[in-house]
Amino acid sequence: MRKPVHLSLALCLPCVLAAAACASAGGTGASAGPVGIVQIAAYTGDQAFEAQFADSIDYPGLYAVTQAGGVLGRKVTLIQVDTRSDPADALTAMGKTLATSSGISGVLGPDSTSAATLVPLLNNRHLPMMITAGEAAYDRSSYAYLWRNVPPDPANGEAIALWAKRQGYASVATVFGTDTGSQGDLPGVVAGVKAVGIKLADQENLTPDQPSYRSAAERLLAARPAAIITESDGPTAATFFGELRQLGSLVPIIGTSGTPSYSYFTPLRGAIGGPSFMRYFRAVVVGNPVVNPAVTAFNAAVLGVQGKLAKPVSQWENNSFSESGYDAIITLALAMDAAHSTDGSVYNRFIMRVTAPGPGKQVVYTYAAGKAALAAGHQIQYVGASGPLLFDGYHNSFGSQAVEEFPANAGAVVVGTITQAQVQALG
């Protein structure tokens, strides 16, 4: 049972801030010790599926940096902070990490569950963070140290609605877990469905990991949607769609960018059968797969650390979400190199400098190439495995989104694209 968030935060926030204030000044360029990169994710709890995604980002990214000699000649280490799928636990864990770890220079995360509690703390600590939280609250953020290179949740939801319209679906239903991470896309889906003129026939919100969702499945069947838009954890999806199949017939299922992983696919395939999964399931994912040297470098890094990643390793090759996180690590490392400092208050402004296009800039696709170009006195634009990182004035960058299908024992196949311009045209 989760702690009441309002009570937990009131009790622990002062002690966390005090501990953070007393922590050693991790991130100063003067230290010769390791450069700490913190990964904030749910390694346990009802959102523990995040851990596999985090690993697919962290280990390839750190591999690429380490192979090129580290940042400013210093080793880069990973510090994992487990949110336990709870914002109060996340705050406690992050406070402890800040109080006990030295050399912290950057952060990957927070996620949707923990962002509200952790973003203010990390911003006050002058720690650049590449968040994965999709909430619209960060579309026009005043936090100077917050960066986001994935689409906000409403954008992914709106892209899904555009794909549903393109497929000719006159009505849709939504089936979402009640956990914070799953709910993030729902407002964008509902707004997008309304904007494109599709009827919202039914909305089902599922408490994760219940033994049955029969009544919800019956309501959905009675509404007769042409397609279902969904996000939840894998076991919840397996139970719901398995019962839906038993009660009636399946219709096309469109997953959000939070669904593509074998921890989701495996139970769902088992519940509805492989042929039905291939026939009905598609996902609209952040990032549109590109072909450039950064993708080659990312895939090589994935293979270089495959022993640390969830099997099969093919699920991470060319994975748009993983590529975006990998690009976040490379960007932070290059910004430190460009600033000649691992102090967030110094190198934060260099994040834009190493990613923005400009006259005379040398375009680089790998950490090694960027590091060498900077050492030679060049200005650079890092173009990543997810494509160019074009941050706006609010430190947001997102491009097109890909519609993918997922053959068994093979990588994702792109079957369509929704552009950023199309999403923005919805308002």
**165 and 205 fall within a common domain:** yes
Mean pLDDT of 384-406: 90
Asked whether residue 370 is assigned to any structural domain, the reply reads no
56 has a pLDDT exceeding 70: yes
Query: Can you read off the two tokens belonging to residue 109?
Result: 């995360």
Domain of 417 in residue numbering reads as 153-285+398-424
* 274 lies in some domain: yes
Task: State the average pLDDT over residues 190-217.
Answer: 97
CA distances from 259 to 50, 251, 265, 304 (A): 10, 17, 8, 25
Is the same domain home to 44 and 78? yes
Whether the per-residue pLDDT at 288 is higher than 90: the answer is no
Same domain? 107 vs 136: yes
pLDDT at 128: 98
Identify the residue with better confidence: 154 or 313.
313
Mean pLDDT over 380-400 rounds to: 91
Regarding whether 406 and 339 lie in a shared domain, the answer is no
Band of pLDDT at residue 79, cut at 50, 70 and 90: very high
Q: Is residue 121 domain-shared with residue 200, that is, in the same domain?
A: no
Order of strands, edge to edge, in the sheet holding 380-384?
A: 362-364, 380-384, 387-388
pTM for this entry = 0.74
The enclosing domain of 42 has a CATH number of: 3.40.50.2300
Domain assignment of residue 372, yes or no: no
- How far is the C-alpha of 229 from the C-alpha of 241, rounded, in Å? 12
Q: 98 and 128, same structural domain?
A: yes
State mean pLDDT over 366-380: 98
Number of structural domains the chain divides into: 2
User: Highest mean pLDDT range out of 24-33, 148-157, 314-323, 378-387?
Assistant: 378-387
Is residue 328 domain-shared with residue 280, that is, in the same domain?
no
Q: Would the pLDDT of 417 be above 80?
A: yes
Q: Say whether pLDDT at 28 is over 60.
A: no
Residue 396 DSSP symbol: B
Q: How far is 256 from 57, CA to CA, in rounded Å?
A: 19
Beta carbons of 121 and 91 less than 8 angstroms apart: yes
Per-residue confidence at 66, pLDDT binned at 50, 70, 90? very high
**Position 29 pLDDT exceeds 70:** no
